[in-house]
Structure 1
Amino acid sequence: MLPSVSVFMARGARVPVWLGVALVLACWAAPGLAESLRVAPEWLKAHLDQPGLVIIDARPPKDYAQGHIPGAVNFPERATYSDRQRNGRITEPRVMQEQLRDLGITRDAPTIVYDDGKLLEAARVFWALEVYGLKDLQLLDQGFAGWQASGYPLSTAEARPARSQYIAELDPRRIATRFTTQLAISNPAQLIVDARTSEAYEGQVSKAQRYGHIPSAINVPVHEHLATAPDGSALRDLDALAALYAKVPKDSALVLYCDIGRVSSVNYIALRELGYQVVNYDGSWLEWGNDPSLPIIGPDGQPDP
């Protein structure tokens, strides 16, 4: 079986033949080299006036209004969901296009994303922006907490950039769907990674109607990727992250999920830094676990249905 890759699909949509061919070809991309996708607060302070640099604050609007990094625009994590109450599906192209245009965001501008320092909001926004084709993204390590702890300047003025001409274009190398995740279950070239807690993976707790995990998935909980710094959470260094995936071949194509494609975005950042080919399943367990037609491994370790 050829390894599958993923693409955003509206509920019930069919994939055209030409697109299916493109997706199959895309999956053969070689794994990348390890690289850091993070910048330190001191780096951002030194580059704050760099022409063309875009800074995105992924926190809720009320937090942004109380103080933010000078020049940052507010694109809260909640704006990346189509309907967060149902599952983690990403915002539709038409809506995302308008949001990014209003913020003056373009596909090629160097862009730094930050949140309060816990990385969950910033990672989800980072991943969503990569899905929508942004090419030069990095995270602010330790986020706003680290910026504040360093005594760097704050602003309460809302940034008002000129509206951009961004055109929504999805990158199929970054996102998995229910369908492509089903294909990955029996594909030896792919590996599914569950970023939830071990309790959720084992079926002791669940945010969906059913309990358990997707068949063939391994469990690498998000908290194992994080180190708590005095001024906020941060991803562990590359050596520590590599140790988490030491038994996962670099040529594996990885599919990530959690409950709503949120905490798995942190795993996504880590795996991108390590050079893996990785996609994030946006619908995640809230979609999968609520669909009785989809297979799971239940709390007893047995497949259902």
Structure 2
Amino acid sequence: MTPRIDPEPSLHDEAARAGWLYYVGGLTQDQIARELGVSRQRAQRLVSRAVAEGLIHVRLNHRIGVCLDLEQALTDRFGLTRCRVAPGLGAGGDAVRAIASAAAGELERFLRMEEPSVVAVGTGRALRGMVDAMEDGIEAGQHRLVSLIGNIAPDGSASFFDVVMRLADKVHAPHYPMPVPVISPTPEENAAFHALPPVRKVVDLARKADVVFVGVGQMSNDAPLLKDGFVSRAELDEMQAAGAVGEVAGWVFDAQGQYLDLGTNRRTGGVRVEPGLDRPSIGIAAGETKVSAIRGALLARIVNGLVTDEPTARALLA
């Protein structure tokens, strides 16, 4: 299905978008008016309507038509099992903030299931935003939560964006951190960590996960792995020269989603998300610099589900 070209938004669409920009994006009514191409008075009325009609209450409770079209188009293009597209927050808006509540809703859907399951999670800003946006009061003690990636930073500290313990604390579920470095100094040290019985048990649990939630990191010059000190500039240059465009749970891949047999991939701790899983593997990612990385993960079916925002969805379909 092809998205409608310049669809005529309904009044509810406009009100929901205005409420989203105001309460989530933090835009002023003047900024909303410019973003939507309406008068300031109309922007004010739209924000008031969004609240009065219950279209937005921290979360967006109305699915904007154009976002539904983009979801269907992405599903058709990439054969997705799940897809949610959140409205964008305008020029300069925080993409992580835009998708956080939609991602939280997807995670909550699984956590509310009565049948016990194993939920595997990666790390990163998007996943931390997802956990922070979850509703309070969810009890998920029937499930087990397991990390896909190590939780030890290069200086020995706990990884700042590790989410499994944060999530477990919120939903009171048993959890299994991956007790290895995110990236070990040598392949031999990485192998030694993975030979330890407690680590093997966590690895086995992660490989059997019923559902996977991961961020998708870019491997451009603003790569999270570089920014957070997990790779050196020289290592990033080497992997870029080999075609690296993205990473999932620390494992680096090229534009077609093929994992590279070089660089940090020989020293990455934890569990690699294998392409073509027969169970949900949901990517939580948005932003202009992530488009190539997300596309590669979708093409190889490293992820078969996606939560993203409107501008990223349009770029993926371009």
Q: Normalization by structure 2: what TM-score?
A: 0.28
Q: Which has the larger radius of gyration?
A: 2
When normalised by structure 1's length, the TM-score is 0.29
Higher helix proportion, which one? Answer: 2
